[in-house]
Amino acid sequence: MDKDAQLNFEQLWRTEFGNVARTAYLLTGDPEEAADLAQEAFVETYRRWEDVSRMDRQAAWVQRVVRNLAVTWLRRQRVWARLAARLEVAEVATLEPLPDPELMAALAALTPAQRVVLVLRYYSDQSIEDVADALHKRPGTVRALTSQGLEKMRGILPKEAWRDER
Amino acid sequence: MSVEDELRARFQQAAEALRVPKRELSDGFQRSERMRARKRAAEVLSVGVVLALFGASIWLLLPLGKSHDSVQSGGAVNSPTASVSPSAVSSTHPTWLVHSVGQGLTIESPPDWSIAGGGGMNVVSPEPVLLAGTWLFPAGGDCAPTAALDSMPRDGAFFWILEYPSLHDTQEFAPRPEHFSFGDLKGPFECVGQRTYLLLFRDASRLFQAHIVIGPDASNSVRSDVLEVLDSLQVDKEA
């Protein structure tokens, strides 16, 4: 890798690491795991930097990598009750309350696919078509996952949080 | 507020409120290298187990009374090199890793390089002490790392360093320069079977010979990396 490419990569790391870790946090619910996954996503990006550096939206590429890593991580967490317990442990370990633990606990109750779809739709602000393209699913599947995810969230989060629009 | 709007707002707030744990990019490379090394070791182990089982089954199937020598003297298999896991992070290049290869030698390289000690060659003197390549090269060779050279990608680069006993004529070995350069291609050498850039140098009262081979499609960046990796070599006085 030449010096310019090296500098460009380090610049991307400095400006985007936090954003990538935040996406990973919403997907995993674990700040430490999120930071590890973000770091791993950048290592993967570095290995493909010759191609990625030619892309217009390099940050979007890293976001894509971290999302895939997070989905793999989520799928490994077979027992969702353990994930909720992990959230509590992380809360103690970091000695500071996690942002919106209620939201994170509700997200932990979703399937990985539902969780990813909700985060991409409502945090990354992607359209149904973009999410379908990113996840290699049909738009109808993404609509169904969104609807199922929102339904679960309605059932878990306090009802006064939003107007029931069903 | 709709469910969707509420989620948008809470996602945004939760993400913004998160104090992202600090990470160093170089630690990520180290972790990744360790995982790759473990994966490689597992692959080597599984290949070994398969070969052992295969060998055992052949041995069992051989007619009684027939010598087993023919099985044991089968063709040699080039094993993956025992590449050295990085021990630290470069102080000059944030993404480079530091490898201690033993014999009082330390060298830095980009994270996608492989570095190995000199084992795996059937040569005693001058003694191979370090091998470095831009890809995961296999070990093996008689008086040169021919297994690695045979597998070198066209856009890759490889070098190996031999150490001469200190009793050797030191006049041939100039003091190590501040920065290495390729010089002219020398050879072809009998052991290597091709021409190499040959460097003879003296450092910390120790005598070294480096052979460098650059693939025909290697970029200027790879060539420059080779010299920077060589420049990073640290030699302790006592091996």
B10 to A165: CB separation less than 8 angstroms, yes or no: no
Place of tokens 């393209």: A133
Q: Which residues pair with A72 in a beta bridge?
A: none
B168-223 residue pLDDT tens: 777 888 999 999 999 888 888 878 888 999 999 999 989 999 999 999 999 998 99
Q: Does A55 contact B at CB distance below 8 Å? A: no
Mean pLDDT of all residues in B133-139? 88
SS3 call for B136: coil
Cα–Cα distance between B16 and A62 in angstroms, integer? 19
Give A153's contacts in chain B (Cβ within 8 Å).
3, 7
B8 to A6: CB separation less than 8 angstroms, yes or no: no
**pLDDT for residue A82:** 56
b or e along A60-91 (b: 16 or more beta carbons within 10 Å of the residue's beta carbon)? ebbbebbbbbbbebbeebeeeeebeebbeebe
A13 to B27: CB separation less than 8 angstroms, yes or no: no
Q: Using an 8 Å Cβ cutoff, are B48 and A61 in contact? A: no
Quote the tokens at residue A105: 């606990």
A111-139 residue pLDDT tens: 888 999 999 999 999 899 988 887 878 89
Confidence band, pLDDT 50/70/90 cuts, at residue B111: confident
Which member of B1, B8, B221 has the closest CB to residue A163? B1
**pLDDT for residue B67:** 36
Q: Which residues pair with B107 in a beta bridge?
A: B99
Mean pLDDT of all residues in B6-30? 87
Q: Using an 8 Å Cβ cutoff, are B168 and B207 in contact? A: yes
Mean pLDDT of all residues in B146-158? 92
B28 to A39: CB separation less than 8 angstroms, yes or no: yes
B20 to A43: CB separation less than 8 angstroms, yes or no: no
Q: Does A29 contact B at CB distance below 8 Å? A: no
Mean pLDDT of all residues in B19-29? 83
| DSSP classification of residue B80 | B
Q: Using an 8 Å Cβ cutoff, are B42 and B54 in contact? A: no
Q: Does A153 contact B at CB distance below 8 Å? A: yes
**pLDDT for residue B125:** 77
A31 to B21: CB separation less than 8 angstroms, yes or no: yes
> CA-based diameter of chain B, in Å?
87
Give A100's contacts in chain B (Cβ within 8 Å).
10, 13-14, 17
Confidence band, pLDDT 50/70/90 cuts, at residue B51: confident
Q: Which amino acid is at A19?
A: N
Mean pLDDT of all residues in B133-148? 86
**pLDDT for residue B24:** 82
B219-238 residue pLDDT tens: 998 999 999 999 999 999 86
Select the residue from B2, B13, B25, B228 to test the A interface by mutation, using most A Cβ atoms within 10 A.
B25
- Does ipTM come in above 0.85? no
Which member of B3, B18, B110 has the closest CB to residue A99? B18
For the CA atoms of B28, B34, B36, B41, the dihedral, rounded to the nearest 10 degrees, stands at 180
Q: Does A143 contact B at CB distance below 8 Å? A: no
Q: Does A11 contact B at CB distance below 8 Å? A: no
The alpha carbon of residue A93 is apart from the nearest alpha carbon of chain B, in Å, by 12
Q: How far is residue A12 from each of residues A94, B85, B156, measured CA to CA in Å? A: 27, 27, 27
Give B221's contacts in chain A (Cβ within 8 Å).
1-2
pTM of the model: 0.53
Average confidence (pLDDT) per 10 residues, chain A, 166 residues = 81 93 92 92 88 87 88 68 55 62 86 91 91 86 93 79 50
User: Which residues fall within 8 angstroms of residue B144, CB to CB, at 6 or more apart?
Assistant: B121, B123, B160, B189, B191, B192, B193, B211
Q: Percentage of residues in chain B with pLDDT exceeding 70?
A: 82
- Say which residue, B77 or B88, is predicted with more confidence: B88
SS3 call for B56: helix
Q: Using an 8 Å Cβ cutoff, are B85 and B34 in contact? A: yes
**pLDDT for residue B132:** 95
Task: Indicate if the pLDDT at residue B106 is higher than 80.
Answer: yes
Q: Which amino acid is at B167?
A: L
- Say which residue, B224 or B46, is predicted with more confidence: B224
Q: Which amino acid is at A85?
A: A
Chain B's closest residue to A165, CA to CA, is B2
